[in-house]
Amino acid sequence: MSTSVAVIGCGNRGLQLARAILQAEGLSLAAVCDVDPNRLGAAMETLGVPGERDHQLLLARADVDAVLVATSARFHAAVTLDALAAHKHVYVEKPLADTPTVARQLARAAEQADVVAMVGYQRRFAPMARALAMEVPAIEPIQCTVVAQRGPMNAQFFFPDHYGGIVDNTTHALDQVLWSMGGRPEGVMGHVRRGSILGDGTIECMEVVIDFDGGRSASVISSMLGVGAANLNEYVGRLGNVWTTDGRTLHVTRHPAITEAGAKKPAGLEVREVTCSGGGGDGSVLALEHFAVRIAGAQAEGWPRGCSFAEGAAAIAVSAAMVQSAEEGRRVPLDEAQ
């Protein structure tokens, strides 16, 4: 039996998700919703499904089991709280909310509701992330560096908030370092640069260091001026290293950490190559299939873990703390992030 889903918010992302639903196993597209009549009409015509302007009318329908919330982030909370109150399963696009406080409120509401609630960090289901999830825990990571350079971004992402600008994209990398390092993120040092393109407050370049329990750390460096520049995902561990520069092949070494001053590279150190395989593009279709599997209550073993609302709240706390740290010139403990 398939789960019947309605998509709320028919911008580019809502339409992409609606098409992904049509490809995904275990889900069917029941309806679409947008407050903008032009966007709603275009989505209904393209997808061949009925639509509503008021999301409450969809939530009242017994034949809608779940909703995908693809409005812009500042409207996620209102729609999501209504969906949880209506006992619908919810898949909310990233970022979960526009502030850490609201994101935590959503996480609490999801915990109390007896439904499946997932945040749309679909790259967890893409081949590179699946390969990292296999290899990184085994090296006991203590340090990670992600360089995520991007090309120019659309005008709609030019706004000054901590989740706009380059962070709209790099929030995927923040989620990645949080799940892949494991353990507890404790604080953030950040630097941001704004205004080189339009002279406005949009964050165009960011550097963030997240410190974790046990003195472990992750750095993420990203900009929207990095057209064609190199990217990197590198994990250094107590028992070995894992890195990729193209997202297609991981390089993996195993060695006991070198703890002696002046110690030489261990003899016979081999680099194993792991192909990031299995298809699935950016992970959207697999993420939705995982959502369906969990709604059906079936065994989710062997799947990457879908992003919970609590984890979505952790990612948004990092970007807010990064901006606060940049403004105040100090490390911001994550439990202070508002």
Ligand X SMILES: NC(=O)c1ccc[n+]([C@@H]2O[C@H](COP(=O)([O-])OP(=O)(O)OC[C@H]3O[C@@H](n4cnc5c(N)ncnc54)[C@H](O)[C@@H]3O)[C@@H](O)[C@H]2O)c1
In angstroms, what is the minimal distance from the CB of 48 to ligand X?
Answer: 19
Dihedral sign (CA 83, 85, 91, 95)? positive
| CB nearer to ligand X: pick between 202 and 241 | 202
Q: Mention every residue, 6+ apart, whose C-beta is less than 8 A from residue 156.
A: none
Beta carbon nearer to ligand X, 168 or 289: 168
The DSSP line for 205-252 is: EEEEEEEEGGGEEEEEEEETT-TT---EEEEEESSEEEEESSSSEEEE
Name the strand (E) or helix (H) holding 78: helix 76-85
Pairing status of strand 203-212 against strand 216-223 = antiparallel
Q: How near is the Cβ of 22 to ligand X at its closest, in Å?
A: 17
- Rounded to whole angstroms, the Cα distance separating 53 from 59 reads 12
Question: Residue 96, Cβ neighbours under 10 Å: how many?
Answer: 34
Q: Give me the least distance between CB of 171 and ligand X, in Å please.
A: 8
* Count of alpha carbons within 13 angstroms of residue 329, beta-carbon side: 0
Report the alpha-carbon distance of residue 128 to residue 104 in Å, rounded.
29
Cross-strand partners of 244: 233
Closer CB to ligand X, 43 or 131, in the complex = 43
Specify the residue, 168 or 311, whose C-beta has the smaller distance to ligand X: 168
Cα 162 to Cα 97, 323, 326, distances in angstroms: 11, 6, 11
Residue 186 is encoded by which pair of tokens?
A: 């404790």
For binding to ligand X (CB under 6 A), which residues are involved?
8-14, 33-36, 39, 55, 70-73, 75, 79, 93-94, 120, 122, 156, 168
> C-beta of 107: minimal distance to ligand X in Å?
17
Q: Rounded to the nearest whole angstrom, what is the least distance from the CB of residue 94 to ligand X in the complex?
A: 5
- Tell me the residue nearest to ligand X as measured from the CB: 11
For residue 172, the minimal CB distance to ligand X (Å) is: 7
Residue with Cβ nearer ligand X (180 or 217): 180
CB of 333 to ligand X, least distance (A): 26
Between residues 8 and 189, which has the closer beta carbon with respect to ligand X? 8
Strand 203-212 relative to strand 185-194: parallel, antiparallel, unpaired? antiparallel
Q: Cβ(10)–Cβ(43) under 8 Å?
A: yes
Return the number of the residue (119 or 208) whose C-beta is nearest ligand X: 119
Closest CB to ligand X among residues 152, 333: 152
Residue 106 is inside which H or E element, if any? Answer: helix 100-112
Q: Is 281 left (phi over 0), alpha (psi -120 to 50) or beta?
A: left
* Least distance in angstroms from the C-beta of 265 to ligand X: 39
Instruction: Specify the residue, 39 or 104, whose C-beta has the smaller distance to ligand X.
Output: 39
Q: Report the nearest approach of ligand X to the CB of residue 304 (Å).
A: 15
**Alpha-carbon 131 to chain mean position:** 17
Burial class (CB in 10 A: 0-12, 13-18, 19+), 278: exposed
